[in-house]
Structure 1
Amino acid sequence: MTDPLSADPRGFTGPVPVVGAHVPHVRSLWDPRVLWVTLGSVSLIFLAALTSLALTTVMPIVSADLDGDALYALAFSGTLATGVIGMVAAGAWSDRSGPVTPLATAVALFVAGLALDAAAPSMELLVLGRLITGLGSGAQIVALYVVVARVYPADLHGRVMALFSAAWVVPSLVGPFLAGLVTEQLHWRWVFGGLAALTIVAFGMIAPRLMHLSEQSATPREPGVGRRLLFATVIAAAALALGLTGELTASISAALGWAIAVVALAVVGVAILPLLPRRTLRGAPGLPSVILMRGLIAGALFGAEIYVPYLLIDRYGFSPAWAGLGLTTAAIAWAISAHVSGRHGDRIGNARIAVIGSLLLLTAAAACAVSAILTLSPVVPIAMWSFAGFGMGLMYPRLTVLTLAYSDRANEGFNSSALQISDSVGASATIAVMGLAFTSLAATGSGFPVVFGIAAVLALAAIVPGLRLGHAQERS
């Protein structure tokens, strides 16, 4: 086997030697030596998730205030697109000089974007703020993954990722209500301003405890960083084009929308190759399969879940508040299964987690498709969508743990950014294709079964790389 410390980071996929932790003999996330790192990291993840959900809640009001209907979709898709650039930059930077400076820069961009949104006098400036926030949020998550790899011993990585999953889930329970309450009682600008202030406080918890991680301890193995950033920018542009195809289909021509989508997907497929480990799209055993599976399940879950409330409103006459019930049950199930995965993942096994999780996601999507066709009781899609949440909670943190286990100190940033890029691109591409299909089939009434059918196919496909995940150093 090639020496892992001298190989190209995209070519190495096997287990790597575990480098001694900076904080030795830590056996708990709440050990006083890492307590503030734990609290600060989880708080930053929580606030990033809360920001995403707050935007969903307040955006209709923002758009009305700023007369910005034409840029409504771009305010969502733009953040995801620029996040890919942030992920690549933070990964390369973290491998070269440690995660502290990249994390500080990411937080600064995130806060600057929120501050611009809070003060934006026009929709154009608000969208600019969203693009800046996307750069920061994409870089922030990658830098935090490197922090986890550098601070905590390997046997605690699963528990950290379970906490990160919970930090994404909890905002789905309280975020929409809190954002709506602040908007009603104060103003939507306070939502963005408040999140910016809280992010500064959260970073203050973690920053002083990470200064010892700034030193470079291994030779980075990332040739062509500038080239990779160029490819990330191309992906971002193609993702923005994909996000606009649904509107083109509805307003101009379905054929034009599909043509642009096909070209954009082809561009993404070529440009993403240098940003992932070699043989990822072929599902090679080890790290490539971990990265590929993450993109497939992200596309299945995040693509389909935006249609669950839509189905309940359109077919069952639910109010918007009650329509969110399906997502709430899934969020609770996700939190429970993430805890199970974090504590018992080694005992369950990677292949078993992948198969069980994918089948649960497949079952949920199929149940929603059948409900749309036969107009079954609304209890069916609400209850069955919780299966999707449970399956994702099992798989999501485990795939992150595996990514870190397949990494060493010289490529933690590259691999972490690859995982997040696969996640973001998988979700955004699937959402765009589902949107095109839904819009094209609106007149026939078969849009819901088709989008949930796409999710079911992706969940089934995820089993193939799931059986090839292997084992690295994730076992305690």
Structure 2
Amino acid sequence: MSAQSIFGPRYLALSIGIILSAMAIGFEGLAVTTVAPVIAGDLQGIHLFGWIFSAYLLAQIVGTLVVGRQIDRKGPALLFTIAVALFALGLVAAAIASNMYVMIGSRVLQGFGAGAMYTCMYTAISLSYPDELRAKILGSLGTAYVLPSMLGPYVAGLIAEHFSWRFVFWGVLPFVLLAVLLTLPAFRKLTIPAAPAKDESGVVGLSVLLAVGTGLFLSGLGMLPQVWGVALIIVGLALMVQPLRKLLPSGTFTFQTGLSALLASRGLFFAAYVCTQNFLVLALTKTKGLAPDKAGLIVASAAFSWCIVAILQARWDAADQGRGRSKRITLGILLMLVGIGVMLWVPSLTIAMAVIGEVIIGIGIGLAHTVSGTVAFTLVREGEAGQVSGNLQFADSFTPGVAVGIGGAVVAMSQTAGMSMAAGVTIAMAFNLALILLSLVANARTRQSQPSKQTSA
């Protein structure tokens, strides 16, 4: 059988639409990472710095889970349209924000929209592409996410330094509109296989409850050691238990062999990656005195290596017909461990060390993240493409949201205790190392299934 291409006549429109959507989200993501310290300072909300990221990521929980449970019945076109509208509204709200609370609210809209958009894209990949093309489209998706990030952080830093950070949000809007125009026609043609009806009436409530509980938990962390902080942590944890039990595959938090362990491992290593990027910018700008554009350029080095590996892994997957996927995930996680270790001790961190560490982390995430998605799609059962897609996106939002919040609380508490910013960020980096080690444990429990034979009509 001749080799197929994701840019062949059968897949061209859908592939371009997915790639453009990922580019829009990716550009906005790392651009905000670069300008977040400037935003927090300008809006006099450095104590709420972590919430710029946590609000976004926690809102993804609701968008991801709600859309993931609805898309198997309603299809992606309508849900994708709603998601894009909310994402665009969040961009406008951020651009005109007058205080940190409006900014955090805008990030909620952006997070909900981005999470729902990605769930729709993952579902389309699961339903439309055969196994031999999934590694290629996921590689292209990863490339599309990080490609604008190689230039985005630097450009965002220049805009923030010489004009205003507000133009960063205005500048993303044209990308979003273009993605919609080219994606929706392909999404409307996508058919959803018939599946037994499921009672999803409680998904919205459980998703919101989970986000609220997580928010209370993170707020409590930021108030420690006050009594109110301890109380909020306890209440938050209590609210999180039931939603997590109901919404996630059984055994996710005990690393049960199979999809559950895969999702746990993915959530942990991606959380470590997101935290490292966020707090590295904080370390470079606040402890090393680098301008935002320079810090953004250093962070972009991880995007560069991620981009290259995302392309190469598709070739490796084709060469060994998917037999080396588990080894590539493990290698990727180990490389991330090395990369974070290079940058761990912030007081002695140099620009050269930061670049080397970022390049290594980029190679690691390029392997682990892309390949774990390919493996997950081999485990999709009939009528559950949306649910598994939602679970993948949940792994990319819940654990990073919690981890960034914990890291922000660590930095805030270190400041309250009279420690230096460098010391606080060093502790946050050590926390990232712990996440990677846990990810390795979960990955050891993941059993790679045989490639799915399912192809779309």
TM-score (norm 2): 0.86
Q: How does 1:11-410 map to 2 (within 5 A)?
A: 27-57=4-34, 74-118=51-95, 126-180=103-157, 190-213=167-190, 215-220=191-196, 223-245=198-220, 247-249=222-224, 253=225, 256-257=228-229, 260-261=232-233, 263-265=235-237, 267-313=239-285, 316-345=288-317, 347=320, 349-369=324-344, 371-372=345-346, 375=348, 377-410=350-383
Q: How does 1:409-420 map to 2 (within 5 A)?
A: 409-420=382-393
User: Counterpart amino acid of 1:168?
Assistant: Y
Alpha-carbon spacing, 1:360–1:254, altered in 2? closer, same or farther (3 Å): farther
Alpha-carbon spacing, 1:235–1:26, altered in 2? closer, same or farther (3 Å): farther
Match of 1:21 in 2: none
Indicate if the aligned counterparts of 1:231 and 1:271 stay in contact, CA closer than 8 A: yes
User: Counterpart amino acid of 1:37?
Assistant: L
Shift of 1:396: 0.2
| Distance in 2 between residues matched to 1:277 and 1:471, nearest whole Å | 17
Indicate if the aligned counterparts of 2:57 and 2:400 stay in contact, CA closer than 8 A: no
| Distance in 1 between residues matched to 2:39 and 2:276, nearest whole Å | 25
Indicate if the aligned counterparts of 1:242 and 1:432 stay in contact, CA closer than 8 A: no
Q: Deviations over 1:51-87 (max 9, x none)?
A: 2233345556666777777876544432222221111
Shift of 1:357: 1.6
Structure 2: unaligned runs, 5 residues or longer = none
Indicate if the aligned counterparts of 2:303 and 2:362 stay in contact, CA closer than 8 A: yes
Q: Deviations over 1:106-144 (max 9, x none)?
A: 122222333444456776555444322222111110011
Alpha-carbon spacing, 1:406–1:113, altered in 2? closer, same or farther (3 Å): same
Indicate if the aligned counterparts of 1:441 and 1:447 stay in contact, CA closer than 8 A: yes
Shift of 1:94: 1.2
Shift of 1:292: 0.6
User: Counterpart amino acid of 1:350?
Assistant: R
| Distance in 2 between residues matched to 1:363 and 1:35, nearest whole Å | 38
Structure 1 stretch displaced more, 80-89 or 259-268: 259-268
Alpha-carbon spacing, 1:433–1:284, altered in 2? closer, same or farther (3 Å): same
Considering only aligned residues, what root-mean-square deviation do their CA atoms show, in Å? Answer: 3.1
Q: Deviations over 1:263-313 (max 9, x none)?
A: 534543442222211111111111111111111102222122222233344
Q: Deviations over 1:367-417 (max 9, x none)?
A: 222x436x2654234312322211111000111112211113411111111
Determine helix, strand or coil for the equivalent of 1:272: helix
Shift of 1:351: 2.8
Determine helix, strand or coil for the equivalent of 1:306: helix
Alpha-carbon spacing, 1:345–1:310, altered in 2? closer, same or farther (3 Å): same
Aligned residue pairs, count: 446
Q: Deviations over 1:311-366 (max 9, x none)?
A: 34455444433333442222212112222322213636233123212211112222
| Distance in 2 between residues matched to 1:318 and 1:189, nearest whole Å | 21
Determine helix, strand or coil for the equivalent of 2:437: helix
Provide the identity percentage: 26
User: Counterpart amino acid of 2:411?
Assistant: F
| Distance in 2 between residues matched to 1:421 and 1:332, nearest whole Å | 25
Match of 2:404 in 1: 431
User: Counterpart amino acid of 1:203?
Assistant: V
Q: Deviations over 1:150-183 (max 9, x none)?
A: 2222211111111111122123221133345566
Determine helix, strand or coil for the equivalent of 2:253: coil
Determine helix, strand or coil for the equivalent of 2:429: helix
For the pair 1:467 / 2:444, whether they are aligned, the reply is yes
Alpha-carbon spacing, 1:103–1:257, altered in 2? closer, same or farther (3 Å): same
User: Counterpart amino acid of 1:358?
Assistant: I
Indicate if the aligned counterparts of 1:330 and 1:390 stay in contact, CA closer than 8 A: yes
Determine helix, strand or coil for the equivalent of 2:68: helix
